[in-house]
Amino acid sequence: MTAPIEPKYVSVLQTLGRDLNKSLNPDGVKRVGFAVLMFDLNTSEGRMNYISNAQREDMVTAMKEFLSNLEFGEHEGAA
């Protein structure tokens, strides 16, 4: 199921996405892709929201690779 960003996160995710894209791709040519994931901690309410500068198909591929690496301990993320 695809759904829009939850209203409470629209502004912050759009701002983060715009600013991050400008920082990573300052000349306006997309060379570096990103995704920002946002969710409520310590609750079963809400859902995962994200913003990205990549096409959906590319994000699906990137997330599958990330999850596979995470599962096998190849990614050490910040807590």
Q: What is the pTM of this model?
A: 0.76
Q: Determine, yes or no, domain membership for 60.
A: yes
Q: What would the DSSP string read from start to end of 12-69?
A: HHHHHHHHHHHHH-TTS---S--EEEE--TT-SSS--EEEESS-HHHHHHHHHHHHHH
- Total structural domains in the chain? 1
Instruction: Report the alpha-carbon distance of residue 54 to residue 60 in Å, rounded.
Output: 10
**Is 79 inside any structural domain?**
no
Of 52 and 78, the one with more pLDDT = 52
How far is it, in rounded angstroms, from Cα 61 to Cα 44?
26
77 occurs within a structural domain: no
Q: How confident is the model at residue 72 (pLDDT cuts 50, 70, 90)?
A: confident
Cβ pair 54, 35 in contact under 8 A: yes
28: in domain? yes
Note the pLDDT tens digit of each residue in 12-57: 999 999 999 999 999 999 999 999 999 889 888 778 999 999 999 9
Contact 31, 6 (CB under 8 A): no
Domain holding 48, by residue range, is 7-71
